[in-house]
Amino acid sequence: MDTNATSSAASHNAATFGEYITEKRKQRTLPASQVCEAVGISISYYCDIEKGRRLPPDRESLAKMAKALHLNDTETAVFYDYAGKARFEAPPDLPAYINEYEIVRVALRLAKNKGNAEDWSNFIHTLENR
């Protein structure tokens, strides 16, 4: 992931997952039908997602959607952040990683109980400068 991947969803005009994918699709002048075909979903389902009437699809479909929208690493991270927020859960690209490494779970719990935003900023800065 590039070093701008720490950019938050707040730095975009979109307020929701649906608004974000609409914004990105229109920026690239992609017809909704082309995205739907690449993802393997119906146009009505996709339009409902864009309009906020349906939740983002499963992780596999999200990966196909990110590819169909030609998102870079930073945009993909924001895309997954919006998808997670829409579902009131962790961004869908993270649970497998969190579950794979006990140290990640320990770090998250420790940060939840004793950490703050500055601690995370320092940690991210350290990783980015490797």
* Count of other CB atoms within 10 angstroms of residue 2: 11
Crossing angle of helices 59-68 and 73-87, rounded to 10°: 140
Q: What is the pLDDT of residue 107?
A: 92
Q: Show pLDDT as tens, one digit a residue, over the chain (130 residues).
A: 444 444 444 456 779 999 999 999 999 999 999 999 999 999 999 999 999 999 999 999 999 999 999 999 999 999 999 999 999 999 999 999 999 999 999 999 999 999 888 998 999 999 999 9
13, 41 in Cβ contact below 8 A?
A: no
Domains of the chain (ranges plus CATH)?
3-93 (1.10.260.40), 94-130 (no CATH)
DSSP string, 23-34: HHHHHTT--HHH
* pTM reported for the whole predicted model: 0.83
pLDDT score, position 38: 97
pLDDT at 5: 44
Tokens read off for 127: 């990783």
